[in-house]
């Protein structure tokens, strides 16, 4: 089975059907919207930071399965972590998705997120996987919105 199909069948379906941390966060103190104008994907991300710690995080949106699964797994992975640790994951996730980080041979902190390495087989879908991470980065930096078309990938 190709990594691409495995990506769909194993992870995405689970998180697509039962996305974790899906919904609104009433006491959020950071928010950002993420857009992929090419396919219409849109996610809203809300988090509550206590000092430097991600206490709560939630997302909502109208997205494809890859984006939703990526957002779902992102929330479970960064919840309880410091902003600095989350930024490390953001960088490593982007590098993995774009092929700059080979998780098979290089050290990383991605753990289960490593399954998204399969998205490299689907170059047209890399942006779908990265959008939630891009949005999280925007939320940390108090930017209200993120787009896949800003040329930062």
Partner 1 sequence: MTSVSLHKQAATALDVDKVRADFPILMRRVHDLPLVYLDNAASSQMPQPVIERWVRYQQSEHANVHRAVHALSEIATREYEGARDKVARFINAHESREVIFTRGTTEGINLVMHGFGRAFIKQGDEIILSALEHHSNIVPWQMLCEEKGARLRIIPMNDAGELLLDEYEKLFNAHTRFVTLAHVSNALGTVNPVRGMIHTAHQHGVPVLLDGAQAAPHMAVDVQELDCDFYTFSGHKMCGPTGIGVLYGKAQWLEKMQPYQGGGDMILNVTFEKTTYNAIPYKFEAGTPPIAAAIALGVAIDYLNGIGMGAIAQHEQALLSYATTQLRQVKGVRIIGTAQEKAAVLSFTLEGIHPHDAGTLLDMEGIAIRAGHHCAQPVMQRFGVPATARASFAFYNTFAEVDALIAGIHKVQKVFA
* Bridge partners for 147 per DSSP: 35
- 56: Cβ contacts below 8 Å, ≥ 6 apart: 25, 27, 28, 47, 48, 79
Site for partner 1 in 26-45 (CB under 8 A): 38-42
Is 71:59 a contact under the CB 8 Å cutoff?
A: yes
Separation of alpha carbons 49 and 120, rounded Å: 32
Residues 114-133 within binding reach of partner 1 (CB under 8 A) = 122, 124-125, 128
Whichever of 24 and 38 has its CB closer to partner 1, that residue is 38
Nearer to partner 1, 8 or 140 (CB): 8
9 interacts with partner 1 by CB under 8 A: yes
Of 11 and 83, CB closest to partner 1: 11
For the chain, helix (H) and strand (E) counts, in that order, are 5, 4
Nearest residue (CB) to partner 1, 9 versus 106? 9
Binding residues (CB under 8 A) for partner 1: these are 2, 4-5, 8-9, 13, 16, 38-42, 62-66, 122, 124-125, 128
């Amino acid at each position: 089975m190709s990594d691409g199909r495995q990506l769909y069948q194993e992870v995405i379906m689970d998180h697509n059907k039962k996305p974790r941390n899906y919904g609104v966060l009433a006491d959020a103190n950071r928010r950002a919207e993420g857009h992929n104008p090419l396919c219409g994907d849109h996610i809203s991300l809300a988090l509550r930071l206590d000092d430097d710690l991600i206490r709560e995080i939630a997302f909502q949106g109208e997205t494809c399965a890859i984006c939703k699964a990526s957002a779902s797994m992102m929330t479970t992975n960064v919840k309880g972590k410091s902003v600095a640790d989350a930024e490390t994951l953001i960088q490593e996730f982007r590098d993995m998705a774009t092929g700059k980080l080979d998780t098979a041979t290089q050290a990383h902190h991605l753990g289960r997120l490593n399954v998204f390495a399969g998205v490299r087989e689907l170059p047209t879908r890399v942006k779908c996987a990265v959008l939630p991470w891009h949005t999280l980065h925007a939320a940390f930096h108090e930017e209200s919105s993120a787009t896949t078309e800003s040329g930062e990938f």
